[in-house]
Chains A and B, each alone.
Chain A
């Protein structure tokens, strides 16, 4: 009997799929669904089908609403309705019945009910609220099947707001004796984490328990959550690295039950999940990466079967190896692996090979060289997808020498591609390359012409914007500027003389702007000719009114000479009666300015370009007029956002009245006046007259924030080709012989070639033009291609003189570890250290592993202890058989706590009274361990770095460098040079913010020397929230008012109100005050004003208003980004409450 029970329990999962449809396979012959389906297949036209389904649906509708229909029949009806919906016919009348079926049916009927609900509704549907009760009931059911069904539907869809109602029940299921229930509960929590992360914050320790579950299925499910969390915050989970490595090791070693095999590969899904987690953990972290090197090597070795699934694992492995801190031996193996992909005859593998190459080519340009012939073949592949992927790869290896060929290939592809998304993406890339590497004016303008005509109106609006900005800002040489502009004018004139009707609107806008600004550069061209060409555009049928207004503006700039004026007059007459207000406005301007040349010269001065024009955006000259109107009883002005709030309630509308597309000028006439409601009340009408810094006010092209990539460097390469080789020859003596060989002849470079048939020769030629500069150019340039470095690089270079760019390149090369010899050497040294260390500790480790525990880093002793105590206290995470074990190295805080206490005693005496953050571990390198915390002083923030030496000898020549893009870092006091054995030294740094960010990251490097040994170094990073730099700012309401007007950067958002017993506004502001150290200046009725400062003295003001149950918050500050960052923290503070 007990045997039966046992069997019953083991096979319980099966009951989940309890079926509902009696005699399903017989359906085809007798059931109504069968009849319906057959009926449909016999039909000949879509119209007949429609009629049939409508008939069917109305029959169903009648039956479901009949009170005599049993649940059993209802179930059958539901199946038919699902079928009709799948055919694309709406049957919303049945939704409520599906919910009813899930509620009232027996187990089998319920199942169909739940299925119907999950197919019909999505988590935003209002009817879903009616399901909550059913789910609650089923979760509490003693019937496992019902519980499972409820958990399934919860993980598929559940209204976000109702999560708190069922969360405790789902949590409880984590302790359920059946693994299938635990697994589904974990997946449900994963779903909650995705849609409402803050709701499940408090149960993170339960996730850990799920990770240590004795059932591998439950453990696998928990990895979904971990992948997500680690992706968001890798720092928080470094302590789990060893556990993940241990799990992977066991999976790879075949320790899982056979059930988990897929085509005799052990748990591939689990393996890939783990590899992805590891790559997040090991990224930019040497010590963590070292833990995983061994298992990665093993994974590579084990995955040798020729099956898709092993290739999937290999691909993930390669990605991981190239993501984490590099180890040359592994990189070599991974590179070989990529080779296998690329050279495979299977097209799917080839595709992935190309992707892998794209991924690694920044670190290892040699690989692209190795496979150049394959790349060329893929470039001509009939499958567009392969072609597209190849272009992506080429994009990564573009440099000044091969840019023309690569861009040509891209444009070729663009002409045949029909997919909008691809076009948008590729057009952006071409524009980026053109701006960065253009060899000459002619090429640049022509390429951009193609970009504009192919990209059409789909492309990102910043492409034309940055192009225009580039033209107008110009470069160092006036002569070059003139040539470029002149060339553009010439090219556009000839385009307009051709068939302008075919050009996309965006392109026409660019053309009209350029002609308006620069056509005077061409001396033989009469303005009237251009006028006429432009006027022709206006008559085109497909010319949008936006384009027309660009054209009219351009014409306004060109009214010279009698014939020009007459054209202008004619046009302005036509459009001054237009229904479009903007066009009418433009036409009026044209009319007036064409007659009054003096006024025109003032309004549209020629050649001023981007010099910002002083505009009184507050329109103070109208004050008299306004006060008269007010006195006459006019309603006081309300800012647009207030009007909208009052009108539309919660509907979110764009508050920016005119976007970037406005040509230029005149925007001052229509500017909105921004002022908070409070101020418009208190300081009356003249209050905002001083709002000079209003961002809409400048008459220049509004291009702030538009990235500008084609800087002086891009141009330099053309102007001063002599400098190029000098930049190219940046170090790396080891590689240089091979490079010289490559540079000598393009043929000898590729040993794989067999230079016989003609097509081959063509390919070789293509190869040499594509891969030129790859081998001979230092990899620094390639590294520079990654988005971030480029940006930083350029930005810096803009400020400095051209000479400094070389030195920057040098420093850049020092940063990128794999590219220079020094760091390679250093790596090898470190590696050998590690291997020796591993060799020593290996016996200990194997014994641990045999117990099923894992602890691989230096502190394994402590870990074992903890684990042992763990085992006694809680339910052990150890399984006796061959099951996988997730050895959890104790809950997160535990190992830190004793250290924390220990280290905080080392805090300098003058700081010990102040509050400090939790002491976090930074890095461990052999016997040296770095930890840090920050201390908030009233006027500063101190970073304290603890250097603890656990070895028996003193560590000397310690140098801790701390640096951050966002911070000003200065050392306080003397930093220690030596740390004696078993003692702790402390460094202090004072931090202040240069550029605000939500979280501020510090990167650092500690270098030191052991008495007998070579110099060592280790990188570390430290993250602290912006809130640590926020202090209250005490101001009066009047001061607040004046400051408000002076600040230009602002942001607005609605936050949730906290409803305590007291008044919600006060309660909410108090929470903010407490959490973020803000100063509440004053609260009047439903509005409140708050002030704070960012260290040292950067004020930020906040205006809050209770509106429609939410808190409308408006932040202003002179510092860009500060309002945005602060609003984020406000949000967090209120959510966490």
Chain B
């Protein structure tokens, strides 16, 4: 079982925290401090595993961001490394060339993605396609709701390539609006 996941920057600034078991606030702060100091102090070309109390810490750096996952002792380290990697892949798919800023400004999205991927400290959905579909369609719904917005954010353009067609049917169908083509959808967006 996983115990917690922390994302922090090279400067040790926390970007995301997820605790899978109940831990008192004070302890959390101590853990965050310990993790950042331990992980940031690692030399390059060292292995990605650490020991901390009775837990194993698996960390990996992606650009300026460190992902740090604590697992119980009997778990598989390499697999945990792949959990991190899959999460990054999911973020990347969503934000497109994800960078630290994306996660800073949209941290709640990062949480939503995480909640679809992991649940209660265990892997919930390993299929990238399914998690992805969730994320993509949520984007659609979000656009649908942004009344009065005249400028489309980057994500919209990114998914203009065809995927959204199905998803917009989906979300609109749910709301009782039948739209079948992307163009139409877009025009309605303007009218709302």
Contact = CB atoms under 8 A, between A and B. Distances in A.
Interface of A: 4, 7-8, 11, 13-28, 33-34, 37, 79, 82-83, 86-88, 90, 108, 111-112, 115, 119, 122-124, 152, 155-157, 183-184, 187-188, 190-191, 217, 220-221, 224, 259-260, 262, 267-270, 272, 308-309, 311-312, 315-316, 347-348, 350-352, 382-383, 385-386, 388, 419, 421-422
Interface in B69-100: 76-79, 81-82, 85-86
Contacts of A269: 79, 123, 126
B81 to A, nearest CB: 6
B122 A33 contact: no
Nearest to A421: B53
B5 interface: no
Given A22-B142, A156-B120, A351-B49, 12 more contacts: A11-B133, A16-B138, A19-B139, A19-B145, A20-B108, A24-B142, A34-B105, A157-B22, A184-B124, A316-B76, A385-B50, A421-B51
A187 B122 contact: yes
A23 B47 CA distance: 40
For chain B, give the interface size range.
35 or more
A316 B74 CA distance: 11
B31 interface: no
Contact of B125 (A34, A188, A217, A386): A217
Contacts of B20: 156
Contacts of B112: 17, 19, 111, 115
Interface of B: 14-17, 19-20, 22-23, 25, 29, 43, 45-54, 76-79, 81-82, 85-86, 101, 104-109, 111-113, 115-116, 119-120, 122-130, 133-139, 141-142, 145-147, 149, 151, 153-155, 166-167, 169-171, 173-174, 178
A27 B79 CA distance: 35
19 contacts: A4-B178, A7-B169, A8-B173, A13-B134, A15-B174, A19-B138, A22-B146, A22-B149, A26-B149, A26-B153, A79-B108, A88-B14, A187-B119, A187-B122, A217-B125, A270-B126, A308-B81, A351-B49, A382-B43
Nearest to B155: A25
Contact of B119 (A20, A184, A347): A184
A11 B167 contact: yes
A122 B134 contact: no
Nearest to A156: B120
A25 B146 CA distance: 12
A187 B124 contact: yes
A17 B138 contact: yes
Contacts of B155: 24-25
A4 B17 CA distance: 39
Contacts of B25: 90
Nearest to B158: A25
A1099 to B, nearest CB: 40
Contacts of A190: 120, 122
Contacts of A311: 78
A15 B137 contact: yes
Contact of A15 (B78, B151, B154, B171): B171
Nearest to A231: B74
Contacts of A272: 76, 79
Nearest to A350: B47
A308 B53 contact: no
A260 B126 contact: yes
Contacts of B29: 88
Contacts of A155: 119-120
A503 B14 CA distance: 39
Contact of A348 (B78, B86, B115, B125): B78
A439 to B, nearest CB: 31
Contacts of A34: 105
A86 B107 contact: yes
Chain B CB within 10 Å, residue with most, of A17, A268, A316: A17
A152 B126 contact: no
A24 B106 contact: yes
A385 B119 contact: no
Contacts of B76: 272, 312, 315-316
B173 A4 contact: yes
A670 to B, nearest CB: 35
Given A155-B120, A422-B51, A27 B106 contact: yes
A267 B116 contact: no
A385 B51 contact: yes
A190 B149 CA distance: 43
A1025 B82 CA distance: 42
Given A19-B141, A382-B43, A260 B120 contact: no
Contacts of A83: 107
Nearest to B74: A276
A259 B82 contact: no
Nearest to B153: A25
Contacts of A14: 133-138, 167, 170
Contacts of A152: 115, 119
Given A83-B107, A262-B126, A272-B76, A156 B119 contact: yes
Contact of B47 (A112, A221, A348): A348
Nearest to B94: A17
Nearest to A116: B108
Nearest to B124: A187
A351 B149 CA distance: 53
Contacts of B139: 19
Contact of B154 (A8, A25, A348, A385): A25
A73 B21 CA distance: 30
* Nearest 3 Cβ contacts at the A-B interface: A25-B153, A122-B22, A14-B137
A184 B115 CA distance: 11
B109 A24 contact: yes
B49 A348 contact: yes
B120 A187 contact: yes
B113 A17 contact: yes
Nearest to B142: A19
A183 B86 CA distance: 20
Nearest to A275: B76
A187 B47 CA distance: 32
Contacts of B77: 312, 348, 351-352
B51 A352 contact: no
A119 B111 contact: yes
A14 B141 CA distance: 10
B52 A421 contact: yes
Given A8-B174, A14-B134, A123 B46 contact: no
B130 A13 contact: yes
Contacts of B133: 11, 13-14
Contact of B16 (A17, A86, A308): A86
A82 B108 contact: yes
